Amino acid sequence: MSNLPSHARVVIIGGGAIGASSLYHLAKAGWTDCVLLEKNELTAGSTWHAAGNVPTFSSSWSIMNMQRYSASLYRELGVLVDYPMNYHVTGSIRLGHSKERLREFKRVVGMGRYQGMDLDILTPDEIRSRYPFLKTHELMGALYDPYDGDIDPAQLTQGLAKGARDMGAKIIRFCPVTGARRENDEWVITTPQGEIRCEYVVNAAGYYAREVGKMFGRAVPMMVMSHQYILFDEIPELAAWSKEVGHKLPLLRDVDSSYYLRQEKYGMNLGPYERNCRAHWTTPDDPMPEDFSFQLFPDDLERLDWYLNDAVERVPILGTAGLSRVINGPIPYAPDGNPLIGPMPGVPNAFEACVFTFGICQAGGAGKVLAEWVTEGQTEWDMWSCDPRRYTDYTDQDYCIAKGMEIYGHEYAMHFPKHYWPAGRNKKLSPIHGRIAALGAQFKPYNGWERAMWYAKPGDDTSEEATQTWGREGPWAKRIEEECLAVRDAAGILDLPGFSRFRVKGEGAREWLSGLITGRAPKPGRIGLAYFADDKGRIVTEMSVMAIEEDFFFLITAATAQWHDFEWLQKHRPADAAFTLDDVTTNFSCQILTGPTSRDILAGVSDADLSKGWLTHQTAQIAGRYCQLVRVSFAGELGWEIHTKADDTAAIFDVVSDAGQRHGLKPFGMEALDSLRIEKGYRAWKGDLSTDYTVLQGGLERFVDWAKPSFKGKAALEREKQQGVIKRFVTLTVEAGDCDAPYMSTLWFGGQVVGETTSGNWGYRVGKSIALGMLRADLAVPGLEIEVEIFGDRFKATVEPDQPLWDPSNERLKA
């Protein structure tokens, strides 16, 4: 007789650490009518052969949150669920060979401090005091993390599973999922033991997630890497030391050489991430097997020779140990190395919690996040770094393989602000890509679309090596300045393919939109910014709303927000709505023409009424092609966005460029645009604008129409307005050194942490380093001097008045 129930509120597919944690946290949230289905035994996938390291380190704020939560949970999990747990909190040492690496470490120390973790930077001598067997040649220092350690992956999974069962959730082992279909607003999951109906389903199938995704019509963006680690026999010298001091060595990571080295009882475990890596199950002659439970790939030790030799030079006692065992197992990779946690794109009531490269250290936090997504429809922390909707239709299998191998081979790489990874490029090209490339454009992808970042001149160093710095200066700096000043003094043109664009048309469109946004929808012929809040009043997204007619709008948003924002709109569109909602992103393109001579340029090539004021739009012709001229400028100068059908981009670009030559027109890129927008205090999506902040905290009350009878998030915002915000958006000018403040740099006042930056850059028009950020509300006083921590050093910063630094009265913008 089958143990499979006929119904459940949630079905989780996959019984590794992630699936078990998801079940545990759903049950903890009170959703006990949940079932986990595992095709074999629990832990049969990547979990059983995982090394079990539990770092808190991350340069991502949200992933650090998730890993910090995991480490905290694991320290008490054994007691919570009454299950034995081998969790060793040994601390870890990350070695730094360069000034740039130490800067990365110092930034993470600041982020960790803000999250309540006491991380530290060690000198070479201090490293030896914590790790006496280590040679410190070529080292500049290290990061010490006292919370790091390792846990038994099987015990972790079984402990979470026991905790979930004890609360009433069910686990069915040896029950593979063979299909899924939608019936009567329910999911019907088929298995050899029968069918189970559910309201929600979660793909937690690990390296098998792509196959499970196909059952839902979803192409999961992932691939599978072969990852090896080596276990060594007992080392007498290490055994004697451990017995004398009563503890294990800290977990050692040589991130510049790309491996970790961990004490395993009285032996060692070496795990490299080698450049000469290997992907599996990527070709017809190497198909993914139907079941790979508790299996490994053959040893391939030649790939590890360099890393083994380097580790022996760093820790010579390793060279005295015999090799005990090699583990070579599959690990899934998404194209950026981050997992997929959140709504399954385009699939109702389906979620993903899969493709975890570091699943053991992230399992606890991932289960918390997944449970919040399912039970509340939103998460405590902004989790865009892991949201499945961050990828769209460009992530074909070739792309996923190329990016996965690139990430694996650079697992510990620093992510410099001007460095753009080369694999998987040119997925989406503007119709004028070749033209601007010939002008010197240096590109970076946005949702697969290649956009010009800056324009190099002959002789400029455009090598990848030149970009490997945290510093402001580089071959790009002079060029970005020239582009900014051209926009200030004459005009600039920016090719901007890939704006996400949604068409809303039909009876009731205005009323519906008004109920979603905090402000009012613009009148026909006008355009305005609109903010969408969740039920807690937090910032979900920002869109430009272009009103064509009373019930006809184009909603324009960030390229990377395409699937995220369209799904938000679809989710809130009534089933019986008379209006249509369509994603028309690929039909159109955009160019920005901005600067004091932009009107003169357009006057010579268009039939438009160029006297129309700011925030208006009109249909016009340029070069005999129709376009929509929109009187806005993210650069904060007189200017227009020129929206065209994609096929008309080249003709219009050529005519405008030719006409602009006598008016000082220069092409400019996204780097210059970011500098220009920050001088105006304009917010950037998923930096300054995220669900980590409410609309009021974001300084956006002028976009809130309190007189409207209702809008999403109104009740929460009214409560917050009455109680007062706890933090407030501010613009800071910073007496910075050679680096501008990166995202999530710590703000200090009176020896206390009082806020964080949300973005930072150099303003070439004002000649200052600028940071936007969130500051404790009582300190958001113009003229107050605070400090910004940038890569470990604190720099004086001044709170500026609540107005743009450049052209505060918008006279140039409205000229």
Q: Which residues contact 608 (CB under 8 A, 6 or more apart)?
A: 602, 618, 620, 629
| 458, burial (CB in 10 Å: exposed 0-12, middle 13-18, buried 19+) | exposed
**Distance separating alpha carbons of residues 715 and 632, to the nearest angstrom:** 32
Report which of 783, 804, 614, 544 is spatially closest to residue 699, judged by C-alpha positions. Answer: 804
Give yes or no for residue 228 having a pLDDT over 70.
Answer: yes
The token duo for 529 is: 């910014």
Per DSSP, 693 falls in state S
Judged against a pLDDT cut of 80, whether residue 50 lies above it is answered with: yes
In this prediction, residues 346-354 reach a mean pLDDT of 97
Q: How many Cβ atoms sit within 10 Å of the Cβ of residue 21?
A: 34
Its pTM stands at 0.96
Nearest Cα residue to 25 out of 367, 350, 356: 367
Q: Angle formed by the axes of helices 359-376 and 61-81, to 10°?
A: 90
Residue 494 Rama label (left phi>0; alpha psi -120 to 50; beta): beta
How many C-beta atoms surround the C-beta of residue 83 within 10 A?
17
How far apart CA 152 and CA 157 sit, in angstroms, is 9
The arithmetic mean of pLDDT across residues 763-786, rounded, is 98
H helices within 377-474, ranges in order?
397-409, 433-438
Question: What percent of the chain clears pLDDT 90, i.e. is strictly above it?
Answer: 99
Let me know: does 39 contact 193? Beta carbons within 8 Å: no
Question: How confident is the model at residue 3, as a pLDDT?
Answer: 87
- With vertex at residue 596, the alpha carbon angle to CA 592 and CA 602, rounded to the nearest 5 degrees, is 55
Tell me what percent of the residues of the chain surpass a pLDDT of 70: 100
Mean pLDDT of 112-141: 96
Q: Are 300 and 226 in contact (CB under 8 A)?
A: yes
Q: Could you tell me which of 476, 814, 530 has the C-alpha nearest to residue 674?
A: 476
Cα of first residue to Cα of last residue in the chain, in angstroms, is: 78
H helices present in 661-806, as ranges: 670-679, 714-723
- The token pair at 113 is 């401090």
Contact 693, 538 (CB under 8 A): yes
Contact status, residue 445 vs residue 399, Cβ threshold 8 Å:
no
**Nearest one of 584, 722, 595 to 663, comparing CA atoms:** 595
pLDDT for 1 equals 40
User: Is there a contact between 128 and 139 (Cβ–Cβ < 8 Å)?
Assistant: no
Whole-number CA gyration radius for the chain: 27
Closest of 4, 1, 2, 3 to residue 196, by C-alpha: 4
Q: What is the DSSP letter of 606?
A: B
What Å distances lie between residue 2 and 140, 174, 599, CA to CA?
61, 11, 74
Span 141-145, average pLDDT: 98
What tokens appear for 757 in the block?
């930056």
Question: Tokens in use for 40?
Answer: 């074999």
Q: Which two tokens stand for residue 151?
A: 């846990």
Q: What is the pLDDT of residues 713-724, one digit of tens each?
A: 999 999 999 999
DSSP 283: B
726-751 mean pLDDT: 97
On average, the pLDDT of the chain sits at 97
The pLDDT tens digits for 379-411 are 999 999 999 999 999 999 999 999 999 999 999
At 528, the pLDDT band (50, 70, 90 cuts) reads very high
| Nearest-angstrom CA–CA distance, 295 and 328 | 9
Evaluate if residue 595 carries a pLDDT over 70. yes
* DSSP assigned state of 689: B
Q: Residue 708: which residues within 8 A CB-CB, separation 6 or more? A: 514, 520, 714
3-state SS of 773-808 is: EEEEHHHCCCCCEEEEEECCEEEEEEECCCCCCCCC
pLDDT at 226: 96
**Separation between Cα atoms, residue 698 and residue 685, nearest integer Å:** 12
For residue 678, which of 744, 634, 738 has the smallest C-alpha distance? 634
What pairs with residue 366 in β-bridges? none
The Cα angle at residue 138 between residues 137 and 144, in degrees rounded to 5: 85
Contact of 194 with 357, CB cutoff 8 Å: no
For residue 529, count other CB atoms closer than 10 A to its CB.
18
Judge contact between 157 and 169, C-beta under 8 A.
no
* pLDDT for the residue numbered 2: 65
- Bridge partners, residue 501, by sequence: 556
Task: Supply the DSSP string of 50-112, one letter for each residue.
Answer: ---B-----SSHHHHHHHHHHHHHHHHHHHHHT----EE---EEEEE-SHHHHHHHHHHHHHH
Q: Which residue has the tokens 């299950």?
A: 83
pLDDT digits (tens, 9 = 90+) for 683-707: 999 999 999 999 999 999 999 999 9
Quick check: 682 pLDDT over 90?
yes
CB 92 within 8 A of CB 253: yes
